Every structure is written in structure tokens, then in C-alpha cells.
Structure 1
């Protein structure tokens, strides 16, 4: 608990030039209020308790009941944080295609990571990992354990799973069924440890962060076509997904961002070299994709990948976590929604980074960004671990969502 006296000590410390990360987070949490209206959120706020100086960070406040001394402290906090934000967050740039506000990519930026706090206490969870053969029949069932931490988001939580560092062959071999030239050449990539969201961002999580003050870009509170708190948020463009990460970072004091394309594929494969982390094929009992043959502009998209039987076509998203996890403990990496990455579009992997960082496009005006994983609408071959899609960063679609990475130095 933090008393008003302790809070003023923190304010004095920051005004004197201190930039202790915990101090900044406390100040941000104290400022979750606006004049003349009650704030009701489960995160920590100042609460006015009768008894003079007994003012603590608690559950909720009513601004009309706060004494003048506390109001003055809140005004100071607002001024301090405004100055800090002007230094920490880069100014918006202009999109060459849309002439609208866009984002400076901070995936490999030292500026953003200087803000970062370590994660809360690390916990573990158990899960089962399934392997199937070319007929889609289960051949192995393993029980595994993974580490994670919980980021409390109002009435919900964001589960961030620990992804160990390592090396892997990124892309597809020439003999992988339905692979394409843009997935080659296969190349060895080194990945540093990071935390990855266990599930795609849900609509409930989206609303919490979309209600926070804007960093660079307005967010629609209800963008999704298919409605449900535990359904993945969709119809989110790359800029909006990046704005979500910026707001979440500012709120928590930890660095959140979209994954690099290499991080995404490494996390999806979870040390498997097969087309899917489940094995050599996939079935609609393991993922949400189109498991029926479909005509697509004169082309037949098969609902099967290998020798497995045909499946179902749900024609919409399903709740996150409805299907078995991969060996890292991540769910819904195949199908459900395509997930935005930070990388710009490239025709193939010639010249791609080998250190797992985002492949930026500083000399090209293209605003196309990469998406991974396939969706509820995709045939199975587009849900492979190596499959790539790119779209204009401004595009929204009911097939497009995202999940977040947390990293720090």
C-alpha cells in the first residue's frame, strides 16, 4: 500500500530526475481517473479513506470526494507523466501510402526497452501435447510443463508463456507439400528467450486496453465481426495492433510488442520441423480452419493436407484455447486468426536476418506487413508453420488478429 505521503516522496524523486521504473508504474496507476466521474476498474487506484493521511492505493475512487491535497498530487502526476511520455515515445511518422498517422517500429529499439520492468512472479502450468500421423491419427500424447506469468488486465488476465531461446531452420524445404518460393531459402536463425501470449488477444482483453488513453492512434472498442469476450479480437489492422502494444507497455511498465516473423515461426514450431507442430498433417479436431474443399476464384482449395479425412468448416472464430497446445504451451497457432508480425513484406528469405529480429524495410515505401498462422477461413496448407501472408498495414479483416510478445533487457 502507498500512502499519500509516500506518493509525494515518489513525485519529488521523479521531479529531481529519477526514473526508477517502479516509481513510474505507481504514478501511472494512481492517475487512472478523470474529473467528476467515478472510475470502477479492478486495477490499483487511489482511494480516499477517512482519517486524514490514510489515503492508499486501493480498488476505486470517486474524484468528487478527494481532498484538495490529493487532487494537487494527481495534477502533478499528470504533468510528470506527460513530460516522460514525450521523451519515451517517438513522434508519429506519416504513412507513405495513406498519408495518415503511422508508427515508428520499435521492435529492435533500445529506447522502448529502457522502460521495461521484469515480469511478475513466474508460475507453471501443465498441458498435453498431441502428435498425429499422415492420416490424422494420434500417435503420441505427452504431458509437459511450461513457465508463464500473468498480467492482470482489469477483470481478465493475459497469460504470457516463457519461450526458451534456441536455433531453428526457418522456412520450408522444397519437398514440403504446398510450400511456396516465398518460404525459402530455409535458413538457420538464432532466437533469444522471450514471453509470448498463450492465446491470441481476446475481445475482453482488447476492450480493457482500448479504453486506456491514446498513444498515437484511436482504437475501436468493438471492432470484431464475431462477438464474444473469449473470442479473438479481429478486424484489427497492423497499426491498431501496434497501438495496443504501446498502451499495454505504458500501462504495465513492461515492453510489449508484436512478434518478429522469426519469433512467431520459432514459437509455432516449438522445436518441430514438420509442416505443423502436431506433425505431418492437421485435422479440424485440432484447429479451426476450413476442412472442406472450396472453390476460390476458379481454384480448388482442398480441405485436407495429407491423407487425413475431410473435416468441418466452422465459418467463424472459436474461443481461444479450444484446441490442444504445442510443445511450448501455446494454443491456436494454426488457424483461428492470422496474426500480425512486425516485419515488412519480402518476396523470399534472401538477405533475411539470422538473429530473430524483425526484417524492416527502411528503403522501401511499401506498408505491407506479414501475417502468420492461417485462419478459420483458410485451407490447411495456409495454416502450416512456414506459411506466410502479407497485407497492407491499414487493412482490417475478420480473419486478422494478433498476439503479443513481452521482452526486456
Structure 2
């Protein structure tokens, strides 16, 4: 886990950002308390260990992933299963493990940056795992690996977090909303609303770089499960974690 300092940031994308979507509006100020964030997406090795803990509400398959590798991110994970993982880990450790809020996720991804990616105005396949047959901005074409890569293959952002762009989509706690009108300003999960769909962030190995931007947001049904989706854990308050 990496200690993420509290602070404020502008969530969403500015009007000038290339290939931005309406769902990234309105850009708004969010102030967050310190929290802890997983250094990597949850790996298959970590998943297997926690899946062996006693059930809280759901059964968990010990080896659900399509792309085998203990150091690869676990995928084929639904939102419900990610929540179950966090619940088992919390009960086992006595710490408040959970999914990050969408605001926490974007704040951690940006790591103090204002650019489309935490690495700058564009991104290459030397920095992240995505479909390199497409480019973003002034970037160049690169590799399309057609699968996940071991966590930590590429360099970390300024907070020390790996794979925030690409590799696997990451579930957040929040319900999906079409835009940020009425979004909370304190970084807490936005769970008001009637829909059951949940937020996904970060892009994946399968998608072009525009979907890997720090501000890009997507969704799936909470029971949705495919080889593009994994998650990482958060923990709060920071003073109770290690």
C-alpha cells in the first residue's frame, strides 16, 4: 500500500483536452483526506490468498483469470466479487480495506498532474499496456500485446502507483452517473441514484490510449465480468493502515 497525501485537485477534464467526453464535465474541485492505495492492481497471487479466507457474503473462485500468472492482475472479476475481496481482507486484518471512490482513484492517478496522463500530454506503450495501434495527440504507434502484463512492468507515477493507465480496468465504489453535476466535493463515494451500474477507471490492454486518460470514465453492471476488468484496494483512515 502507498500512502496518498490529502489535498485538492480539479476532477474531470478541461475543455481543451483532446478526445474528452461529456461525462468528464463539469470539471470541479475536490478536496480529499489522506488514504492508502494499492501500489498495484490486485494480483492473482493476492487474490488466491484472500479467496481462501472465510466467506463474508459471496463465494470466490481461487483462479478466475483468463491470462495466467501470479504476478499479473486478477481479471474476470465483478464489482460484487471485488467488494467481497475487500470485506474478507478487512475482516482478516481489522483494517478498513475497500474499493477506492472515483475521486480518490482519479486523484491518485493524476498524482499532482493536470495533463491527460500522469506521464504528460501523451503516452506510449513503453509506459503502459494498451492497444498501441492507436495514438493520442502527438504520440507514436507502439505495441499491442493482446493480454495483461505483470504488475510493475512499467514505471510508477509520482505517487509510486503502477498501472494506473491501461492493463486492466479498475472498479470503483461509486454508482455510475452520466456526468459530475451534483457530485460530492469531499472525495467520498457517490452512491446516490437509482442505477446499479458501477464506475470503471484506467483503460485496459485492449483499448486505445484515449480511454486510458486520467479523466476518462466508464461503467459496467456490478455483476459484469470479463478479462479486461480488475481492481485495486484502498484503505482508510491512513493512520490505521500499513
Residue aligned with 1:250, SS: helix
* CA distance in 1 between partners of 2:39 and 2:218 (Å): 22
- Structure 2: 5+ residue stretches without partners: none
| 1:187-336 aligned within 5 A | 187-292=28-133, 303-336=134-167
Q: Bigger radius of gyration, 1 or 2?
A: 1
Q: CA deviation at 1:174?
A: 1.4
Shift of 1:310: 0.6
Residue by residue over 1:31-51, the C-alpha shift from the partner in whole angstroms, topping out at 9 and shown as x without a partner, is xxxxxxxxxxxxxxxxxxxxx
What residue number does 2:221 align with? 392
The corresponding residue for 1:343 is: 174
Moved >4 Å (runs of 4+): none
Q: Which is richer in strand? A: 1
CA distance in 2, matches of 1:191, 1:270: 13
Report 1:5-404 matches (<5 A): 160-292=1-133, 303-361=134-192, 363-364=193-194, 366-404=195-233
SS in 2 for 1:367: coil
Local SS of the residue matching 1:162: strand
Tell me the secondary structure at the aligned position of residue 220 of structure 2: strand
Q: TM-score, normalised by structure 2?
A: 0.97
What are the Cα deviations for residues 151-189 of structure 1, in whole angstroms up to 9, with x where unaligned?
A: xxxxxxxxx000000000000011100100000100000
Greater helix share, structure number: 1
Q: CA RMSD in A?
A: 0.7
Structure 1: which 5+ residue stretches go unaligned?
Answer: 1-159, 293-302
Count residues in correspondence: 238
SS in 2 for 1:209: helix
Where relative contact order (Cα < 8 A, 6+ residues apart) is larger, the structure is 2
Structure 1 position 308, deviation (Å): 1.9
